[in-house]
């Protein structure tokens, strides 16, 4: 559980009843965005309140009326998903800015300009979002907001999501070490270890990180790796 002085109120009103939780705002945002967060890690008390400022607990009758249960976890999940989370203006500003940067980074990594095949720089995406007056919700997932953001950007910049396929050959001197990093950062479709100890593979990466990918292969092989872009 979190310290009481770090908690904000999550409130749900239904069927004339009011229910409140004391929650960590960032943890609540992660939970609401679909991340795997344990309820007990983001609440300040394992109670459902009618009025948290007075420490007045919700009655069993009210809980059964609205939630059909008095168990804390399912009730808390419903309040977190459906209720209103009360943030200070500074908390909302910080959380919105963090989510905005994550949306920009995701688009820059995964999208390209279909007219030239190159990724859009993050700064260009950010400027287009400002021009399109894109509004970011700190409690919605990045994936959900990427979709709405790209829809808003399309009238302003040519943009599409794409992946690129590469064939790679790593010399034997570098293959054992390079294998782990390449496997962790790409989607490997085929691979084979050669008799001389070298490693070859076909892998797929987001189109927006091609330059970073070339840099990684050069770093891992000191420039001796063979990389070919496949159609």
Is pLDDT of 105 > 80? yes
Number of domains in the chain: 3
Rounded to whole angstroms, what are the CA distances from 170 to 178, 215, 219, 220? 8, 14, 12, 9
pLDDT recorded at residue 103: 96
Identify whether the C-beta of residue 205 lies closer than 8 Å to the C-beta of residue 164: yes
The whole-angstrom separation of Cα 219 and Cα 229 is 18
pLDDT digits (tens, 9 = 90+) for 19-43: 999 999 989 988 988 888 999 999 9
Residues 108, 145, single domain; the answer is yes
Same-domain pairing of 29 and 71? yes
Mean residue pLDDT across the chain: 93
Residues 138, 141, 144, 147: is their CA dihedral positive or negative? positive
Q: Are residues 111 and 179 in the same domain?
A: no
Same domain, 8 and 76: yes
* Residues 118 and 59 placed together within one structural domain of the fold: no
Q: Is the pLDDT of residue 231 over 80?
A: no
Last residue of a domain, one of 160, 184, 206: 160
Range of the domain at 19: 4-85
The whole-angstrom separation of Cα 83 and Cα 61 is: 20
Query: Can you give the pLDDT at residue 34?
Result: 85
Instruction: Tell whether 94 and 59 lie within a shared domain.
Output: no
CATH no. for residue 112? 1.10.10.900
Predicted TM-score of the model (pTM):
0.70
What is the separation, in whole angstroms, between the first and last Cα of the chain? 52
**HEC letters along the chain:** CCCHHHCEEEEEEECCEEEEEEECHHHHHHHHCCCCCCHHHCECCCCCEEEHHHCEECCHHHHHHHHCCCCHHHHHHHHHHHCEECCCHHHHHHHHHHHHHHHHHHHHHHEECCCCCCCCCHHHHHHHHHHCCCCCCCCCCHHHHHHHHHHHHCCCCCCEECEEEEEEEECCCCHHHHHHHHHHHCEEEEEEECCCCCEEEEEEEEHHHHHHHHHHHHHHHCCCCEEEEEC
pLDDT in tens, 206-220: 988 888 999 999 999
Residues 66 and 118 occupy one common structural domain = no
Between residues 207 and 170, the one the model is more confident about: 170
Instruction: Give me the residue label for tokens 């940067």.
Output: 101
pLDDT of residue 140: 87
Same domain, 202 and 180: yes
Q: Which of 64, 85, 106 is the last residue of a domain?
A: 85
Region 45-51 average pLDDT? 95
Q: Are residues 126 and 198 in the same domain?
A: no
Return d(Cα 200, Cα 212) in angstroms, integer. Answer: 19
> Do 81 and 94 have their domain in common?
no
Q: What percent of the chain has pLDDT over 90?
A: 79
Q: Are residues 132 and 185 in the same domain?
A: no
Residue with tokens 């309140």: 49
- How far is Cα 113 from Cα 44, in angstroms, rounded to an integer? 46
We report the CATH number of the domain holding residue 63 as 3.30.1250.10
- Domain-terminating residue out of 85, 118, 136: 85
């Amino acid at each position: 559980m979190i310290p009481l002085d770090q908690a904000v109120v999550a409130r749900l009103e239904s069927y004339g009843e009011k229910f409140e939780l004391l929650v960590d705002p960032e943890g609540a945002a992660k939970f609401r965005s679909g991340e795997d967060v344990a309820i007990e890690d983001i609440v300040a008390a394992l109670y459902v309140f009618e009025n948290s400022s007075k420490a007045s607990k919700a009655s069993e009758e009210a809980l059964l009326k609205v939630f059909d249960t008095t168990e804390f976890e399912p009730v808390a999940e419903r309040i977190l998903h459906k209720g209103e989370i009360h943030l200070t203006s500074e908390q909302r500003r910080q959380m919105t800015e963090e989510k905005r940067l994550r949306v920009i980074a995701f688009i820059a990594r995964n999208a390209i300009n279909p007219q030239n095949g190159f990724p859009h720089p993050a700064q260009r995406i950010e400027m287009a979002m400002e021009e399109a007056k894109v509004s970011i919700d700190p409690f919605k997932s990045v994936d959900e907001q990427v979709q709405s953001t790209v829809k808003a950007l399309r009238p302003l910049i040519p943009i599409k999501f794409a992946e690129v396929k590469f064939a790679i050959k790593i010399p034997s001197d570098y293959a054992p070490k390079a294998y782990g990093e390449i496997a962790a950062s790409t989607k490997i479709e085929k691979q084979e270890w050669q008799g001389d100890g070298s490693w070859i593979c076909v892998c797929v990466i987001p189109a927006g990180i091609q330059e970073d990918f070339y840099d990684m292969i050069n770093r891992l092989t000191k420039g001796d790796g063979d990389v070919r872009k496949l159609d």
